[in-house]
Structure 1
Amino acid sequence: MIFAGVGLSCLMFAQVIMRYFLDSPFAGIEEVAILFGVWIYFLGMGYATKAKEHINGGIVSLLVTDPYKLKILDLVRSLVCMLAAIVFGYFACKYALFVIEKGRMSLYLQWPKGFWSGSMILGFTMMVGYFLLDAVRNARQLSSQSR
């Protein structure tokens, strides 16, 4: 993510210099900028899941005060989120295979569109893995607290 972020910043700086000072824009930079942006987004999605910085509903903790029931709800939340990430990951893989099989290339640089699709696959794979780890941790805590 850091590499893509720094790369994106450098590309935008170079594009501004080329466009406004040298009067010679290069459209390929915009393709690479989108590539970096997509990688930042999907890797960030996985990282946010790992760091538990994704959006959570907090109203349940206001309604349910029993810690055991909250752990059960955390386990269910982890499993539902993991299932959703699996479904979206499946469609990301399906789309990536479609793009690769068709031999789609980027417009200016003629790079394989699979570079863009790979970010989705990696991001959803990271999410599934982190939700699975979270579910396992919640299940272990539940088994140690069993009533």
Structure 2
Amino acid sequence: MKIIAYIDKVLQIIYDYIIIISGSIVTILIMTGAFMRYILKTDFYGSEEIILIFGYWLYFIGSISASRSKTHLNADMVSIFTQNPRIISIKEIIKDLLSLAICCVAIKWCYDYWSWTIALKPRTSVHKIPYYFQQFPMCLAFFMWGFYLIRDCVTSFLDLKNIDTKVSIEIFKGRNA
């Protein structure tokens, strides 16, 4: 387990660097484009292509980081209506399994899209950058989302098992009191 925790920590450091670097590049490119257009009265031709690539990396690596830390937006209404840990745990299992099923479909679509793009070899119109540079972070994000969802499913099942064990111990203690 220590090796998995170490790999996870290293991956988060890599995500953080990619997010910082790509966010900085997007900011610098937008500011440079605005400076060139409004101050120098010239155009930064093709800047949108470069911004789009780094924007994809920023967005999708950010989503990986959110999946890892379970900080995606959610609308958890069950915990408002009940404090029963077993019901909340079952809800978590259902949520994680549904999310994993959706993620598997998204991974399949990404694979199909990636394969189609590789076969066609499309490029951006100005700088002739292959499209797969901007599509790779999307595929990586769904793959890593699936990895973290598997982790979440296992954790949810273990949490339910621990709740059931605690209830069994409490019932046993109650009978022997």
Q: TM-score, normalised by structure 2?
A: 0.77
Q: CA deviation at 1:54?
A: 1.4
Q: Deviations over 1:73-131 (max 9, x none)?
A: 10111111111112112112211211111010011110110011101101111211111
Q: How many angstroms apart in 1 are the aligned matches of 2:32 and 2:74?
A: 39
Q: Percent identity?
A: 27
Q: Deviations over 1:8-29 (max 9, x none)?
A: 0111111112222222212221
| Structure ID, larger Rg | 2
| Structure 1 residue ranges without an equivalent (≥5) | none
| Structure 2 residue ranges without an equivalent (≥5) | 1-18, 169-177
How many residues were matched structurally? Answer: 147
1:37 equivalenced with 2:61 (yes/no) = no
Q: How many angstroms apart in 2 are the aligned matches of 1:27 and 1:128?
A: 38
Q: CA deviation at 1:65?
A: 2.7
Summarize the alignment of residues 117-132 of structure 1 with structure 2, pairs less than 5 Å apart: 117-132=135-150
Q: How many angstroms apart in 2 are the aligned matches of 1:100 and 1:21?
A: 40
RMSD of the TM alignment (CA)? 1.4
* Residue equivalent to 2:42: 24
Summarize the alignment of residues 99-138 of structure 1 with structure 2, pairs less than 5 Å apart: 99-138=117-156
Greater relative contact order, per chain length (Cα 8 Å cut-off, separation 6+): 1
Moved over 4 A (4+): none
Aligned residue identity for 1:57: A
1:139 pairs with one of 141, 151, 157: 157
- Contact 2:103 2:145 (C-alpha < 8 Å) held by counterparts: yes
* Residue equivalent to 2:92: 74
Q: CA deviation at 1:34?
A: 1.0
1:3 equivalenced with 2:21 (yes/no) = yes
